[in-house]
Structure 1
Amino acid sequence: MTKKRWRSSGGSRTGKTHREINGTSVALDERFEVGKSKLMYPGDPSGEKKLLIAVVR
């Protein structure tokens, strides 16, 4: 099974939820659980707006 892994930068601007899931792997067709959102990738527009705003800044 091919998987994808969430990698956060770990910098001072990295949010708590992104740090918490850093290194987590899921199947390619599954979503990552980030806070209350389930995202396919960082910046996924289906997530909570506060997560998207932080990624886009």
Structure 2
Amino acid sequence: MYQRALAILLILSFGAASGCSWVGRTAGKVQAKIERKTDAVEKGYNDGYSGERQKQQ
């Protein structure tokens, strides 16, 4: 959550520097990395949860 807020803040602050294509590319890369990490955490949680649920049955 903190990383996403930081990425949005960076995107907004870099938005003022118009004409720099690398700014947009860098912001896109940051956002993609954050989304991959978030997906990995969510997948890990779901895997762990389902594994523990199966132990109960």
Please give the TM-score of this superposition, normalised by the length of structure 1. 0.28
Name the structure where strand makes up a greater proportion of residues: 1
More helix per residue: 2
